[in-house]
Amino acid sequence: MNRTITLTLALAIGMASVFAQKVEIPKIDWDGLQKTKPWEASEQWTPVPKKVTPAYLTAPPSDAIVLFDGTNLDNWHKPKYSYGARMDEVEAIIKARAQQQEYSEAEWVVKDGAMIVKPGGGPIESKQAFGDMQLHVEWLSPETTGKEGQAYSNSGVFLMGLYEIQVLNSYENKTYPNGQAGAMYKQHIPLVNASRPPGEWQAYDIVFNAPRFDAKGNLERAATVTAFHNGVLIQNNVVLEGPCVYIGKAHYVQHAEKLPLILQDHGDKVRFRNIWVREL
């Protein structure tokens, strides 16, 4: 065989094997990490947002894309790769999602006009992807005895599957403020605590501007979030440092212009309803 052809062929096979390589998601040694608890380093305990009494809720506008109207999970499925606890995991997941994402049926329960987290059933992801958007989500923390802190009705809305606005009972439930309801998790404490008590429906209205990357993958513009909790401004055009991670500092990793929303299964039967998006 001609030398040039042989070389080209070898190069092509090499390239193909690089592209075909399975992305390895890093294994996190949770038992080992219990000794040092690195997630505590990014918990911010002051300032504590003051409490305000919130306003009431609204119906979807006529031009909204309704993702959940109380009847079924047709617009949702369960992703094999969802979100990561540390940046190395996030980076691997972004790659895996682009190359080998797999889905199965969403396992959450639809009941009484709401969809309810099925503990252990995994997160759910919108079938449609979004970039810049106005998002409305209503959620309810069921009254539960014997739970506190991050364990009392924890869920989350992951914008683009990466940037989490925390869902938690924060009515009278102490935790680190950069992890309470309405926090951009471990990055921005809400301006005030507009939480309603467990058992009452609450709403988030969010304006999200997705990050922009140049052709080389460098960050051109960071993501920003403005959010209202029960009609009260809690995040005022805050700039995100990158994906919202549980352990360590965030940094940006290039990703698609549009990505789906993910709702978190954190083991609590949090309910959601009336979810809609207006693309910006």
Backbone φ and ψ of 39, nearest 5°:
-70, -20
Query: In the complex, what is the shortest distance from the CB of residue 35 to Mg ion, in angstroms, rounded to a whole number?
Result: 24
Please return the burial class of 144, using the count of CB atoms within 10 Å of its CB with bins 0-12, 13-18 and 19+: middle
Query: In the complex, what is the shortest distance from the CB of residue 189 to Mg ion, in angstroms, rounded to a whole number?
Result: 15
Q: What are the residues facing 277 on neighbouring strands?
A: 65, 135
Query: In the complex, what is the shortest distance from the CB of residue 159 to Mg ion, in angstroms, rounded to a whole number?
Result: 13
Cα 109 from Cα 100, distance rounded (Å)? 27
Amino acid letter at 212? R
230 binds Mg ion (CB under 5 A): no
Choose which of 141, 153, 154, 175 interacts with Mg ion (CB under 5 A): 154
Choose which of 49, 131, 156, 211 interacts with Mg ion (CB under 5 A): 156
274 binds Mg ion (CB under 5 A): no
The window from 11-19, 29-37, 58-66, 149-157 that contacts Mg ion (CB under 5 A) reads 149-157
In the complex with Mg ion, the residue whose CB is nearer, 95 or 155, is 155
Would you give the DSSP letter of residue 129?
E
In the complex with Mg ion, the residue whose CB is nearer, 95 or 245, is 245
Query: In the complex, what is the shortest distance from the CB of residue 166 to Mg ion, in angstroms, rounded to a whole number?
Result: 5
In the complex with Mg ion, the residue whose CB is nearer, 264 or 274, is 264
The window from 63-71, 74-82, 146-154, 244-252 that contacts Mg ion (CB under 5 A) reads 146-154
Residue 3 falls in which region: left (phi positive, over 0), alpha (psi -120 to 50) or beta: alpha
Cα 195 from Cα 124, distance rounded (Å)? 24
195 binds Mg ion (CB under 5 A): no
Query: In the complex, what is the shortest distance from the CB of residue 141 to Mg ion, in angstroms, rounded to a whole number?
Result: 12
Two tokens at 231?
């009609």
49 binds Mg ion (CB under 5 A): no
Reference 139, options 9, 36, 269; nearest CA is 269
Query: In the complex, what is the shortest distance from the CB of residue 71 to Mg ion, in angstroms, rounded to a whole number?
Result: 26
* Pairing status of strand 133-140 against strand 212-213: unpaired
Query: In the complex, what is the shortest distance from the CB of residue 246 to Mg ion, in angstroms, rounded to a whole number?
Result: 9
The window from 3-11, 200-208, 237-245, 258-266 that contacts Mg ion (CB under 5 A) reads 258-266
Question: How far, in Å, are 80, 110, 113, 128 from residue 76 at the CA level?
Answer: 13, 12, 16, 8
In the complex with Mg ion, the residue whose CB is nearer, 193 or 264, is 264
Two tokens at 153?
């009705």
In the complex with Mg ion, the residue whose CB is nearer, 181 or 194, is 181
Cα 118 from Cα 171, distance rounded (Å)? 23
- Please state whether the peptide bond connecting residue 47 to the residue before it is cis, i.e. omega within 30 degrees of 0: yes
In the complex with Mg ion, the residue whose CB is nearer, 95 or 176, is 176
In the complex with Mg ion, the residue whose CB is nearer, 75 or 166, is 166
Query: In the complex, what is the shortest distance from the CB of residue 16 to Mg ion, in angstroms, rounded to a whole number?
Result: 40
- Answer yes or no: are the C-beta atoms of 51 and 130 closer than 8 Å: no
Residues that bind Mg ion (CB under 5 A): 154, 156, 264
